[in-house]
Amino acid sequence: MELNRVTPRIYVAATRQDDGKTTCCLGLYAALSSKYKKIGYIKPVGQRFVEVGGRKVDEDSVLVSNTYGVNLPIEAMSPIAVDRMFTREYLERGNLPAMKATIGEAFNRVAWEHDFVLIEGTGHAGVGSVLDLSNAQVAKLLGSQVILVTTGGVGRPVDEVSLNLALFEKHGVKVVGVVLNKVLPAKMEALRPWAEKAFARMGLPILGMIPYHGELRRPTLAQVCLELGGEFLSGENMKRRKVRSVSVGAMTAARLQDQLHPGALLITPGDREDLLMAALESQGKSGNEAKPAGIILTDGLKPQPGLIKMLRERGLPTVAVVGDSYSVAAKIERMTVKTDPGDKEKIGMIQEVVAKHLDLDSVSRGSKPVKA
């Protein structure tokens, strides 16, 4: 198989998990649409998968496909999805040439049908090494140069970019620049000259400085429920409500009113019916006065059927989970918030902020295919 080395392409990797690589790709896809008529997307190796039509595919590929209506079969956008047994099976009897062929064939389909290919990596440069398909190796395979996404700052981001750069260079892959993500807005201008000097010493231009946007970090109630393995008792039709704060219900019912502001998520044992009644009262008859995100009932306890009926009638989203209140709150605090394909408001924010702060011309200049 001969790889397409005509269509412009760029490979987006990160220095570590949760740096905002997928967020940057979502915004970059929209921004590139202003310069190229048909944008293709592929995530060659994925580690977080969902099932579509009985096939395991990377969830970020599904996100991009659903957001932009990419005219490609999902298997071309996600040729390899790594599940729990994939690594063991590869180490026992893996066939690297076959996997490379699968990736190459999928890429060719994307590349020949589009004017530009956005390639999303999986974490930092070394992720996938156990399969001999690290980001550095896959970028080399696909003849692509790389953008590295890292967090805002000078110290740790420079250290982490340096480590990643070494592995890409080992495989003969050029990193064309870095994107600093989640930069505190108040520090943007002060940080810029120092960051430019630090990365210039490594021969890397800064392609963008994307400010931190708290709204992009807020999970929906549906995402919280999924993370906790919970069950909706009421209000599942409002599962897209954003969680803006979390409170553990150790207070009295009289003090609950101070906690139930818009977007608040109350975590309380399932037998605290006094708090549930107070929450219902705060909702008002219409259910539209306070609009907290909802309530998480812990300890595997559920209220009486009559109270559940009232929760449903008032439209107060309520989720029952196993586990004590404090461990549940800690789990919510630690969760990685991915973008929901149906969250149009969040996706619109991503598109706007990336378009405003990314140097698209520099990205385009770095997209020239690498010769074999």
pTM of the predicted structure, to 2 decimals: 0.84
Residues 330, 345 within the same domain: no
Residues 106, 23 within the same domain: yes
Residue 65: pLDDT above 80?
Answer: yes
Output the domain CATH number for residue 355. Answer: 3.40.50.300
In a domain, 344, yes or no: yes
Residues 170, 298 within the same domain: no
* 111-122 residue pLDDT tens: 999 999 999 999
In a domain, 75, yes or no: yes
Work out the percent of the chain whose per-residue pLDDT is above 70. Answer: 94
Which of 24-33, 101-110, 137-146, 209-218 comes out lowest in average pLDDT?
Answer: 209-218
Output the domain CATH number for residue 250. Answer: 3.40.1390.20
pLDDT at 289: 46
Residue 265: pLDDT above 80?
Answer: yes
Domain count, the chain: 2
Residues 237, 211 within the same domain: no
Residues 74, 181 within the same domain: yes
In a domain, 351, yes or no: yes
Q: In this structure, what token pair is assigned to residue 123?
A: 């974490």
Residues 207, 347 within the same domain: yes
Q: What's the mean pLDDT in 38-49?
A: 90
Measure the CA–CA gap between 153 and 212, rounded to whole angstroms.
12
pLDDT at 253: 58
Residues 245, 115 within the same domain: no
In a domain, 309, yes or no: yes
Residues 304, 209 within the same domain: no
Residue 140: pLDDT above 90?
Answer: yes
* 279-319 residue pLDDT tens: 777 665 444 444 788 899 999 989 999 999 988 988 889 99
Residues 207, 354 within the same domain: yes
Which of 17-31, 181-195, 240-254 comes out lowest in average pLDDT?
Answer: 240-254
pLDDT at 7: 97
Residues 18, 86 within the same domain: yes
pLDDT at 256: 65
Residue 133: pLDDT above 90?
Answer: yes
Helices assigned H by DSSP within the chain? 21-32, 59-68, 74-77, 86-93, 96-112, 135-141, 155-170, 188-200, 221-228, 273-283, 305-314, 325-334, 344-357, 360-365
Measure the CA–CA gap between 331 and 224, rounded to whole angstroms.
9
DSSP string of 233-295, one letter each residue: EE-GGGTT-B--EEEE--S-GGGGGGT--TTEEEEEETT-HHHHHHHHHHHTTTS-SS---EE
Q: Count other C-beta atoms under 10 Å from residue 195's C-beta.
A: 21
Which of 85-94, 253-262, 354-363 comes out lowest in average pLDDT?
Answer: 253-262
Question: In whole numbers, what is the pLDDT of the chain averaged over residues?
Answer: 89
Q: In this structure, what token pair is assigned to residue 132?
A: 């001999």
Residues 147, 253 within the same domain: no
* 202-245 residue pLDDT tens: 999 999 999 998 888 889 999 999 999 999 999 999 998 899 88
In a domain, 3, yes or no: no
Residues 327, 352 within the same domain: no
Q: Domain of 205? A: 9-217+339-365
Residue 146: pLDDT above 50?
Answer: yes
